Amino acid sequence: MSDILIRNLSPATVEFWKKRAAKHRRSLQAEIATVLDETAGREAALAANPYAEFAAPAAEIRKLTGRTFQPDSTAIIRNDRDSDHGRKSRR
């Protein structure tokens, strides 16, 4: 294991982390190490697959919509952009 020393933290910052550590029943050092490890893991996963963060929400949406047909939005957006939206043309 490696060590990191962080100097010149404000008392408010230290107090925040102490309270958070107590809430999770960990030492201050263990709380900060856990947060750093989790963050590094998420960043590494995101670097490996930039779309990973969308997988869980997409799965939830698929569960909610079931087998309902979901049209390709490209044609809908293109049609909307090409239309005058009921307005008179300025040409």
7-22: pLDDT as tens digits: 999 999 999 999 999 9
70 or 40: which leads in pLDDT: 40
Distance between CA atoms of residues 47 and 41, nearest Å: 10
* pTM to 2 decimal places: 0.56
Residue 77 pLDDT grade (very low, low, confident, very high; cuts 50, 70, 90): confident
Distance between CA atoms of residues 53 and 8, nearest Å: 34
- Identify the weakest region by mean pLDDT among 14-18, 47-51, 84-88: 84-88
Mean of the per-residue pLDDT values for the chain?
87
Whether 4 shows a pLDDT value over 70: the answer reads yes
89 or 69: which leads in pLDDT: 69
Q: Decide: 17 and 28 in contact? Cβ < 8 Å.
A: yes
Torsion of CA 20, 22, 26, 29, to 10 degrees: 60
Task: Report the pLDDT averaged over residues 37-65.
Answer: 87
